[in-house]
Structure 1
């Protein structure tokens, strides 16, 4: 009886082992099953964040709007990281001042009340240092609330450099171009709306 029982157990083990092997080899992966991630599938394809992998030159549409003579029209507010209301409570030292932005010339000498912003450059380097594809990603990166910025607005961050040194001038000043139809100046942590002047 013990021998029969032992034989039965051995046969069951052999069958179980054979069935396991059949299951493992009889179901090769099909094309409908998920495949392991490849380098291509890791690449971020959404635009929920700002893109700032490298500095890029201005495209023709951006140039067309960006180049011109700009007047500081109004104070928009302050970055949340630093409220500079003691210096610019109403933007009184910038309002009405002008900046010249041309392909072959840049001048901030029109910002009369600030000696450290007195720059004049021939053949300046204009570069887009970041592009934010919505207001949420812009705020996440810069901690600045731009009034009337809509969720789907595209904001390009433009820096200006001295061609002889490749240094940004000055570090505390930059431009935000919204949808290629609105230009905003940031000085320190203060933001101003600029208005393009029609020069005859």
Structure 2
């Protein structure tokens, strides 16, 4: 083998080695770009300056990594407080509604009780009116019997001393043949007021007759 062949082989080996080294360096650069770290745990020869970073004293842990966690904790605490406040508000609303419902129930019970009492009183008053009406009819019948047994002048005098409605009720129980003479005596009374009262009694008798016929 001559000297030229040796040189050619040496150059081939050098080119192969250079290519291999270049490929290896390119792969290391690709790893650094992809991961942001140096391969094989190597440290950079020159550290990049971080103007915004303030070095922490020894023994003091940095809070930069905990910022997102603290923000999450603050949000969770705020959300919990809002939920607790909403629960309290809903509980107060439920209590208010329950109180209003209780008041309405009491009012309804009181109204029903008052209605029952009013109905009982109305029934009692109606019975009392019936009793009074029956008593008035009985009294009118008795007075009519007394007037029928007296003469026309005395009977007319008794009727004029009574209230107009009571006198009209008594006239209803008198025999028809006696009512004419009695009214004749009352209308011809010397006292003008008695004559006017006799006219009013006659008007009440007429209204009662119309009411009874209807």
| TM-score when normalising by structure 2 | 0.27
> Higher helix proportion, which one?
2
> Higher strand proportion, which one?
1
More RCO (CA 8 Å, sep 6+): 1
Which of the two has higher C-alpha Rg? 2
